[in-house]
Amino acid sequence: MWKKRKDFRTRCFKNFRVPISEEKNKIMITGTHINYYHVCARKLWLFANGIQMEHTSELVGEGKLIHEFAYPQRSEKYSEIELDGIKIDYYDAKNKIVHEIKKSDKAEEAHRWQVKYYLFVLEKKGITGVKAVLEYPTLRLREEIELQKEDRMYLQKIMEEIETICGQETMPPRAVKKICRTCSYYDFCWSGEES
């Protein structure tokens, strides 16, 4: 029975297509794509193909509450900007600082690259000298992030890899990671199977 369910999921989702930018005939890569690339290729593929489970996750809901209430005065002081498909919630234009708030540091490396991608996109739009602060209010941690030369090359490389993963006909195989249990796609990937 579980094999039938697994085959059903594969058949249902193999026909999804990645949203394409009409300008360049490429997907519009966002910070979420960069983050998911570092977490799990399957999660990236599912997200890019319109299969989103975040709205059903209590953990994602908690993260949104933290984002909204951790620094209530921030919305008044900093602006929200959107560029090339990315949305930066808190940008301090005076000091050129991107503020990114996260609930947990479990995917810290993915968070760093997401923020570096924001700096990369801003730089490509002519906004140079921008730094970022990655904040974990519940853990009372904060980290300053800058974009280095090697980061730019790495981001170019992974953007190509993201395009490849997202353009595949079928989703990548399930990965077995510690972070799986807290993933919003956990039930999708592990339904009916032991972890």
Q: Of how many residues is the chain composed?
A: 195
Average pLDDT, the chain: 79
CA nearest to 86, candidates 110, 40, 120? 120
Look at residue 24 in the predicted model and tell me its pLDDT.
45
Q: Where are the domains of the chain?
A: 2-190
What's the mean pLDDT in 2-27?
47
Look at residue 162 in the predicted model and tell me its pLDDT.
97
Q: Quick check: 191 pLDDT over 60?
A: yes
The alpha carbon of 59 is separated from its chain's Cα centroid by a whole number of angstroms, namely 15
Q: Quick check: 56 pLDDT over 60?
A: no
Exposure string of 130-143, with b = 16+ CB inside 10 Å and e = fewer, is bebbbbbeeeeeee
- Please give the structure tokens belonging to residue 142: 């904060």
Q: Who has greater pLDDT, 17 or 119?
A: 119
Specify which residues 90 forms β-bridges with: 99
Grade residue 20 by pLDDT with cuts at 50, 70 and 90: very low
What's the mean pLDDT in 129-143?
89
- Please give the structure tokens belonging to residue 185: 């796609």
CATH of domain 2-190: 3.90.320
Contact (CB, 8 A) for 19 and 50: yes
The CB density around residue 75, as the number of other CB atoms within 10 Å, is: 12
What's the mean pLDDT in 164-174?
93
**Cα atoms found within 13 Å of the Cα of residue 1, Cβ hemisphere only:** 3
What's the mean pLDDT in 10-27?
49
Look at residue 118 in the predicted model and tell me its pLDDT.
95
State pLDDT tens for residues 61-106.
555 555 555 555 656 677 788 888 788 888 998 999 999 888 777 7
Q: In sequence order, which residues have a C-beta less than 8 Å from that of residue 170 and are 6 or more positions away?
A: 10, 13, 14
What's the mean pLDDT in 45-55?
82
